[in-house]
């Protein structure tokens, strides 16, 4: 029994040395784990002084138990962290679809956080482009009071009362950016709430449609502006109307 107790005690001392720092691997576990193992050893029943080897064995077993608990907890955390990291795949996110798949030729999207930030910005720009393209078409046929004599093309923002209207549009955009289009970290990127309460559809299909319509609208707005600057004609007249 004496030799067995001495062996257990030696294992316990080796375990405590590993907790404090292993010269082979250079790993150092947390001080909280070391203190927990030491407290377990101190709380174990103390035998009589006639059996010091038994006391050493009990302390060794307590320290070894603390080491095992610390190792298992660390392994569990590493496993959970690996699972979280592996869950994200930008190639399977909403908007990655045929024929281009996930289109990022410049390599801007490097991780999940970057993806969420860029997706929220893409949706903002798409919504702004939809309103802008519609506005460019509307102002070609309808002029609000006070804008008589203002050109109907993109140059309207530089002439007379058109400058006032342009400043008003910028103020509306700033208000939306500061108070409405504010990303909640607990929601999907671009989910800023439903502005139309009677049309409550946040399905995957509807989200994909909004994203694609916004992408088309960005091309549309750029095309209208470029054509208007090149020909000098407002948007509706580009169709020969």
User: What digits encode the pLDDT tens for the residues 83-141?
Assistant: 444 578 888 888 888 877 888 888 888 898 999 999 999 999 999 999 999 999 998 88
Residue 99 within a domain: no
Nearest-angstrom CA–CA distance, 66 and 62: 6
Ranking 50-54, 203-207, 217-221 by mean pLDDT, the lowest is 50-54
Residue 104 within a domain: no
Q: State whether 143 and 226 are in the same domain.
A: yes
Total-model pTM:
0.60
φ, ψ of residue 121 in degrees (nearest 5) = -70, -40
The predicted pLDDT at position 211 comes to 92
Is the C-alpha dihedral spanning 210, 215, 216, 217 positive or negative?
positive
Please say if the pLDDT value at position 74 is more than 60: no
Nearest-angstrom CA–CA distance, 30 and 81: 18
Residue 149 within a domain: yes
Q: State whether 232 and 156 are in the same domain.
A: yes
Q: State whether 29 and 133 are in the same domain.
A: no
Ranking 18-22, 33-37, 95-99, 139-143 by mean pLDDT, the lowest is 18-22
What residue numbers bound the domain in which 26 lies?
2-87
The residue among 87, 120, 138 that closes a domain is: 87
Q: State whether 119 and 227 are in the same domain.
A: yes
Please say if the pLDDT value at position 47 is more than 80: no
Closest alpha carbon to 189 in 74, 98, 93, 63: 93
Domain count, the chain: 2
Residue 50 within a domain: yes
Strand partners, 97: 101
Residue 123 within a domain: yes
Q: State whether 123 and 225 are in the same domain.
A: yes
Residues in CB range of 39: below 8 A, 6 or more apart: none
Residue 98 within a domain: no
Q: State whether 126 and 216 are in the same domain.
A: yes
Q: State whether 152 and 216 are in the same domain.
A: yes
Residue 61 within a domain: yes
Integer CA distances (angstroms), 40 to 8, 13, 115, in order: 16, 14, 47
Please say whether the beta carbons of 4 and 52 come within 8 A. no
Q: State whether 124 and 83 are in the same domain.
A: no
The predicted pLDDT at position 226 comes to 94
């Amino acid at each position: 029994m004496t030799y067995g107790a001495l062996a257990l005690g030696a294992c316990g001392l080796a375990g405590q040395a590993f907790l404090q720092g292993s010269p082979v691997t250079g790993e150092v576990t947390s001080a909280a784990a070391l203190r927990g193992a030491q407290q377990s050893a101190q709380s174990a029943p103390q035998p009589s002084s006639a059996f010091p080897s038994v006391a050493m064995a009990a302390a060794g077993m307590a320290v070894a138990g603390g080491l095992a608990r610390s190792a298992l907890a660390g392994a569990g955390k590493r496993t959970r962290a690996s699972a979280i990291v592996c869950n994200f795949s930008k190639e399977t996110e909403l908007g990655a679809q045929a024929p281009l798949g996930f289109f990022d030729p410049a390599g801007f999207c490097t991780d999940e956080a970057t993806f969420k930030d860029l997706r929220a910005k893409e949706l903002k720009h798409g919504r702004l482009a939809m309103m802008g393209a519609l506005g460019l078409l509307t102002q070609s046929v309808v002029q609000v009071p006070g804008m008589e004599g203002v050109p109907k093309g993109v140059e309207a923002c530089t002439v007379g009362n058109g400058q006032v209207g342009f400043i008003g549009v910028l103020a509306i955009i700033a208000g939306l950016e500061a108070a409405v289009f504010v990303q909640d970290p607990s929601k999907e990127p671009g989910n800023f709430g439903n502005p139309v309460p009677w049309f409550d559809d946040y399905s995957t299909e509807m989200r994909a449609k909004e994203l694609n319509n916004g992408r088309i609208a960005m091309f549309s707005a750029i095309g209208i502006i470029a054509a208007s600057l090149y020909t000098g004609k407002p948007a509706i007249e580009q169709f020969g109307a």
